[in-house]
Amino acid sequence: MAQYFAYKARNLAGDLITGKIEAENRNKAISQLRERRIFVVDIKEAPALDAGIKLDRFFQPKVGGRELAVMCRQFATMVQAGVPLLQTIGIISQQSDNKTLKKTMKNVGSNLEGGKSLTDSVKPYPRVFPDIFTSMIEAGELSGDLEHVLERLAVIFEKEHYMKEKIKSAMTYPAVVLVVAVLAVTALMVFVLPTMTQMLIDMKVPLPVTTTMIIALSDFLRNQWYVVFGLVIALFFGYKAAVKTGRGKKLKDNIVLKLPVVGPLNQKIIVSRFCRSLSTLLRSGVPVLQSLEVVKNIVNNHRVNMSLLDAERSIKEGQSFAKPIQRSRFFPPMVGTMISIGEETGSIDSLLEKVAEFYENEVDDMVARLSSLVEPVLLVGMGLVVGFILVSIMLPIFSLYDNIQ
């Protein structure tokens, strides 16, 4: 059984280097390092790279699209300037503000010093480098066009970051309004209503059905709040567990796509991401079947993956790539038409890029409209809920006033 060994060693230049290596035993680990012209100073057993649950993973900063885009821009510039690969990795590691990326780049540098290729050096870190990064780096190394591949990666990470930030900024204000509304209604039900309802009960005023319902809900929230809290937590973790199953993931994807407003927006986001990613992969020289595998992981939607599996079968049988996309009920006709034209003219990558730009603009427009629509809907909804509560309490008071007169 293979084990991991942590080592300190010196290379041919006499520099002290550290790293980890996988081997069946200590002697074979030393032999493998010697074959790479690395001479061991100290070596000992180390835990597997991904063994166990490491608490620091939960507290490490994530590496987002912005950090990856900046890293790719720096990488491309230094490659173009002729800076050696190992030195480039070291410079990026020193300049990175993200602790996770800094540490990962140091490990990549150690792997390179150990004689691995750049592709094999980044593969052990899928939490930092997504599949599209690894596949395109591999294509860039094989074609000798690493500089342009890195520039394309920077563009795709920048586009992805911009789209996410656009959606976040549009949804921030409505989310804040929703949270404030929920807190306000909860405070009204828990702290204000009990005083008023107790007065009505003491005066033995006949209570309408709506008032009785509001009082019962208020008592439940005050006395059984832990049930509500536990139910929310159970629903959250139950949802997380369900979407990890194949059936749950399929159900979630189908429900999201059928939701009004959100469904069409999600579809356009997926289509733009699909076209942008596939265009970039093909332009970088990644084989079409491998590109489709990478795109499936990027899109991560059951309906799209089924369409792409159909496309893979069609390509393996020597048939058209466009026809399965045209048969799909998910992709708009424009996508299938463009792929069909691209197959005939040999320009699928450039046509897919144009489709991606079109749908990215569509997403921008929809997000702007959705933001302006959600705000008044939430305010009206909040007003209706608060108004219903107040009317339910005021009705018996009015009834009491009429009886007195």
Return the exposure string of 57-76: e unless at least 16 CB atoms fall within 10 Å of the residue's CB, then b: eeebeebebbbbbbbbbbbb
- Nearest-angstrom CA–CA distance, 341 and 394: 68
Quote the DSSP letter at residue 250: H
Three-state DSSP at 17 gives strand
Reported as a pLDDT band with limits 50, 70 and 90, residue 39 is confident
DSSP string, 299-324: H--HHHHHHHHHHHHHHHTT--SHHH
Quote the DSSP letter at residue 192: I
Reported as a single tens digit per residue, the pLDDT across 109-131 is 888 888 888 888 888 888 888 88
Between the two ends of the chain, the Cα-to-Cα distance in Å is: 92
What is the model's pLDDT at position 358?
Answer: 93
Contact 97, 114 (CB under 8 A): no
Reported as a single tens digit per residue, the pLDDT across 125-149 is 888 888 888 888 888 888 788 888 8
What is the mean pLDDT of the segment spanning 41-53?
Answer: 62
Q: Which residues share a beta bridge with 360?
A: none
- Nearest-angstrom CA–CA distance, 351 and 356: 9
Task: Tell how far CA 222 is from the center of its chain.
Answer: 38
Find where tokens 């997000």 sit: 367
Reported as a pLDDT band with limits 50, 70 and 90, residue 26 is confident
Contact 210, 392 (CB under 8 A): yes
- Nearest-angstrom CA–CA distance, 130 and 127: 7
Angle, in degrees to the nearest 10, between helices 146-187 and 348-404: 10
What is the model's pLDDT at position 52?
Answer: 44
Cβ neighbours around 21 below 10 Å, total: 23
- Nearest-angstrom CA–CA distance, 370 and 124: 40
Report all structural domains of the chain as residue ranges with CATH numbers, in order of start.
3-46 (3.10.20), 56-158 (1.20.81.30), 176-405 (1.20.81.30)
393, exposed or middle or buried, with CB in 10 Å at 0-12, 13-18, 19+?
A: buried
What is the model's pLDDT at position 178?
Answer: 84
135, exposed or middle or buried, with CB in 10 Å at 0-12, 13-18, 19+?
A: buried
Q: What amino acid occupies position 211? A: T
Contact 86, 103 (CB under 8 A): no
Reported as a single tens digit per residue, the pLDDT across 55-87 is 444 456 678 888 999 999 999 999 888 888 889
Reported as a single tens digit per residue, the pLDDT across 206-256 is 777 888 888 888 888 888 888 888 999 999 999 888 888 878 888 888 898
Q: Which residues share a beta bridge with 6?
A: 20, 44
Helix (H) or strand (E) holding 45: strand 39-46
Query: What's the mean pLDDT when you consider all of the chain?
Result: 83
Residue 100 has pLDDT above 70, yes or no: yes
Find where tokens 């399929």 sit: 250
What is the mean pLDDT of the segment spanning 346-371?
Answer: 88
